[in-house]
Structure 1
Amino acid sequence: MKKIMFMVAACAAMVACNNGKTTANNGGADSSAQDSTAAAGDSAVYEGLTPAADVAGIKYRVALAKDSSNGFSVSEAYMKSASEADTVYNYNGKYQVIEKDVKGKKNTYYQFELGKGNKTNFLVVNDSTLRLVNDEFEEPATNTKDMNYDLKLK
């Protein structure tokens, strides 16, 4: 329960911090059209809707360069409903690959800096799934159909 509350609090904190990266959703414009890091053929794109405290969810779109540059483009859309975004934040940069032992298991994580001092971590579950984890690299206590923290390869 503490982990769920931590994730809810972290999501609420991200909503409260604009980090100067706000872009309004222009009449339901597709945020995927804003990916300027790489063309679809040059990147791996993951998408998913994660739970959030004060909105219907946070829709993530993560594009990772398939080369050694470790370039990324992340779009966070805070959703009013399942199909309508309220606010969209876009970030670009270089991600870090972190290998860490958690609970006796060696895992690989991608860490993105989404705004100054705001680092977001994703566990590489397999070749087609990334899972949002907390700042201590712990997975959510609940990862079910209703509380899903996974992004799937598109």
Structure 2
Amino acid sequence: MKKVMMIAAIAAALVSCQSKGNQNNDTMSEGVMTVAANDSSAVAVYEGILPAADGPGIQYVLSVDSIGPDGESGYTLVTTYLDAEGQGKNKSFTSTGKRQVIQKDVNNNKKTAYKLTPNDGEAPVYFVVVNDTTLRLVNDSLQEAVSDLNYDIIQVK
């Protein structure tokens, strides 16, 4: 029941981010439905607004499934580009696929990360595990951006 309430809260947060004049409601609804549909097997949901080159930010909502014996599981990632098509007109994309937990040495530091491999053949996305509740978007070498900007997504309780 907690998972259902958590997904409902995320859906409400996503919908409330849009202004009333947004004509992209269909795209946003599909993304919210995809995250909500995974709730029976979702272990954790992470959310955050990361920097964007051409707008106020990109909202990430990552839902991850439990890890199987092979170290892989599924995921759903909804990325919403805020004001992508004008003030209050967001554009959302949904990616689903496999999540793999990987470990790698980066500058003599052992890093644990999630490799998200989309089912549609797009390039994988990587998040380093910062702590129990925070993931950070990184490149394929698990290196963080050389920037003071925030690339973290936080687990939603």
TM-score (norm 2): 0.70
Q: Which amino acid aligns with 1:131?
A: R
* 1:69-84 to 2 correspondences below 5 Å: 70-80=73-83, 84=88
* Unaligned segments of structure 1, at least 5 residues: 1-23
Give the C-alpha shift of residue 61 in structure 1.
Answer: 0.5
How far is the alpha carbon of 1:34 from its aligned partner? 2.8
**Identity within the alignment, %:** 33
Gaps in structure 2 of 5+ consecutive residues: 1-23
**Cα separation, partners in 2 of 1:49 and 1:55, compared to 1, 3 Å:** same
**CA distance in structure 2 between the partners assigned to 1:117 and 1:36 by the alignment:** 23
What secondary structure is seen at the aligned counterpart in 2 of 1:139? coil
- Matched letter for residue 44 of structure 1: A
Partner of 1:46: 46
**Residue of structure 1 equivalent to 2:14:** none
In the alignment, residue 80 of structure 2 is paired with which amino acid?
A
Amino acid at match of 2:151: Y
CA apart distance, 1:53: 0.5
Structure with larger Rg: 2
Q: What stretches of structure 1 move > 6 A for 4+ residues in a row?
A: none
Instruction: Show the counterpart of 1:97.
Output: 101
RMSD over aligned Cα, in angstroms? 2.6
Q: Deviations over 1:90-142 (max 9, x none)?
A: 01111121100001110101111244231111000011000000122111222
TM-score (norm 1): 0.71
Aligned pair count reads 127
Secondary structure of the corresponding residue to residue 71 of structure 1:
strand
1:149 aligns to what?
151
Q: Return the alpha-carbon distance in structure 2 between the equivalents of residues 141 and 41 of structure 1.
A: 35
Q: Is the 8 A contact 2:31 2:93 kept in 1?
A: no
